[in-house]
């Protein structure tokens, strides 16, 4: 059974919600939809906007790792999906196989945040377990904060071990989770949840070289080829060609839709950003079906449309800041497609210079 949007984390009053089957009850939740797999019911919490609400900051982090194994990609730790001991395969988990006890996974944010606590979910394979590790924090000024050590993670993959963060003592730009000891011939994480909040309401001091797509989360897609559904038959946006793969900072992955024309992908940031240019990368530079035109809809109000030649593998669209200076959501529509399959290999979103 797959736990969908398992923790999304109904992190209310600094606690994980009982509606997710994880911790004590609370009255209000702060991210998207949390499904209770025991009763097949769901709640729809409010989406946080104010920067003083605890949210799962991991979903907006750029994820990298030094030693990924096969298709057990690092980005799976922020997909809000938990596989269990019967359904733990490569679409949901980050795993490493070689040099395990020197392996790490890094989460970095475009702007600093207050980190209250980090919850770690072990890979849901009983034969593999992380038995100790540490979390290293890098502050917004580049200095290091004393690392936090942790012991064995729960081996079932859906009970979290929680590590306290630095809180309000120092704003954090990134965290690195290191595996120090393990059991088995592999080790990894099912999910990482970072509870905290932004220290500002709008994005400031973002480098123009930053790819903002890596700091977004997908909230909708027209379709996903070979999609894996959850235990109730609902969409997960995940699978071999996950919608999230268009913005996961991995050149080996891609999002594929199944319906050709009118294929679309929608993602959001946790803060409004000034966006200067958006570049869409076609599936494969030589042979797979392509799109020849794309439309961008920003915050459901302002749209830009552009065409590319059939031989081009990418399409760049400049954003007119006089029409919209701050962007929270972006919808990409691929139109005038050439074939049954269409999708995106990567998206590059540049911030405005000087923001």
Give residue 183's pLDDT. Answer: 95
Note the pLDDT of residue 235. 85
Q: Could you give the percent of the chain with pLDDT greater than 90?
A: 46
Nearest to 332 by CA among 285, 275, 252: 275
- The more confident residue out of 196 and 260 is 196
For residues 164 and 225, what is the distance between their CA atoms, to the nearest angstrom? 39
pLDDT value of position 23:
32
Report how far apart, in Å, the C-alpha atoms of 136 and of each of 103, 107, 160, 310 are.
13, 11, 19, 46
8 pLDDT band, cuts 50/70/90, is: very low
Write down the mean pLDDT value for the chain.
Answer: 80
The strand ranges marked E within 140-240 are 144-150, 161-183, 187-198, 217-221, 227-228, 238-239
Is the pLDDT score of 310 beyond 80? no
- The pLDDT of residue 102: 87
Region of 45 (left: φ > 0; alpha: ψ -120 to 50; beta: rest) is: beta
Res. 199 pLDDT band, cuts 50 70 90: confident
- Asked if 213 contacts 280 with a C-beta cutoff of 8 angstroms, the reply is no
Structure tokens at 316: 């760049």
The segment with the largest mean pLDDT, out of 146-155, 221-230, 248-257, is 146-155
The pLDDT value recorded for residue 55 is 79
Mean pLDDT of 189-199: 91
CATH code of the region 212-351:
2.60.120.260
CATH number of 3-198: 2.60.120.260
User: Are both 3-198 and 212-351 of the same fold?
Assistant: yes
Has this prediction a pTM greater than 0.75? yes
193 C-beta neighbours (distance < 10 Å), count:
27
pLDDT band, very low/low/confident/very high, at 175 (cuts 50, 70, 90): very high
Q: How many CB atoms lie within 10 A of CB 305?
A: 12
Residue bearing the bigger pLDDT, 275 or 258? 275
Mean pLDDT value of segment 85-90 = 63
- Beta bridge partners, 41, equal 36
Model confidence at 108: pLDDT above 90: yes
Per mean pLDDT, which of 7-21, 44-58, 168-182, 222-236 is the most reliable?
Answer: 168-182
Residue 293's beta-bridge partner residues?
307, 335
pLDDT score of 87: 58
Residue 205 — very low, low, confident or very high, per pLDDT cuts 50/70/90?
confident
- Judged against a pLDDT cut of 70, whether residue 2 lies above it is answered with no
Tokens found for residue 302 = 């302002």
292 pLDDT band, cuts 50/70/90, is confident
14 Cβ partners below 8 Å, 6+ apart? 54, 116, 117, 195
Residue 121 near residue 160 (C-beta atoms within 8 A): yes
- Is the per-residue pLDDT at 228 higher than 60? yes
- State mean pLDDT over 299-313: 80
Half-sphere exposure of 334 (CA within 13 A, CB side): 35
Structure tokens given for 335? 């139109």
Residue boundaries of the structural domains of the chain: 3-198, 212-351
């Amino acid at each position: 059974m797959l736990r969908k949007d398992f923790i999304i984390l109904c992190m209310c009053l600094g606690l994980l919600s009982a509606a997710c089957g994880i911790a004590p009850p609370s009255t209000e939740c702060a991210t998207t939809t949390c499904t209770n797999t025991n009763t097949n019911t769901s709640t729809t919490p409010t989406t946080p906007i104010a920067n003083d609400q605890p949210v799962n900051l991991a979903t907006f982090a750029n994820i990298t790792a030094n030693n990924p194994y096969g298709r057990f990609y690092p980005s799976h730790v922020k997909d809000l999906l938990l596989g269990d001991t019967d359904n733990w395969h490569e679409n949901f988990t980050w795993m490493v196989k070689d040099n395990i006890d020197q392996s790490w996974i890094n989460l970095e944010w475009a702007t600093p945040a207050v980190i209250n606590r980090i919850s770690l979910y072990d890979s849901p394979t009983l034969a593999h377990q992380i038995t100790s590790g540490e979390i290293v924090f890098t502050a917004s000024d580049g200095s290091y904060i004393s690392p936090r050590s942790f012991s064995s993670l729960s081996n079932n993959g859906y009970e979290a071990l929680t590590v306290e963060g630095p809180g309000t003592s120092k704003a954090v730009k990134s965290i690195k989770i290191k595996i120090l000891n393990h059991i088995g011939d592999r080790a990894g994480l099912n999910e990482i949840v970072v509870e905290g909040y932004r220290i500002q309401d709008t994005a400031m001091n973002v480098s123009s070289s930053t790819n903002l797509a890596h700091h977004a989360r997908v909230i909708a897609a027209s379709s996903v080829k070979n999609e894996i559904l959850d235990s109730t038959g609902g969409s997960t946006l995940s699978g071999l060609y996950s919608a999230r793969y268009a913005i996961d900072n991995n050149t080996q992955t891609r999002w594929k839709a199944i319906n050709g024309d009118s294929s679309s992908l929608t993602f959001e940031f946790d803060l409004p950003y000034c966006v200067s240019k958006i570049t869409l990368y076609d599936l494969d530079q030589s042979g797979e079906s392509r799109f020849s035109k794309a439309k961008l809809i920003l915050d459901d109000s302002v749209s830009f449309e552009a065409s590319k030649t059939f031989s081009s593998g990418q399409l760049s669209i400049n954003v007119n800041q006089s029409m919209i200076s701050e962007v929270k959501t972006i919808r990409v529509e691929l139109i005038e497609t050439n074939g049954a399959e269409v999708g995106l290999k990567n998206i590059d979103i540049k911030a405005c210079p000087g923001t």
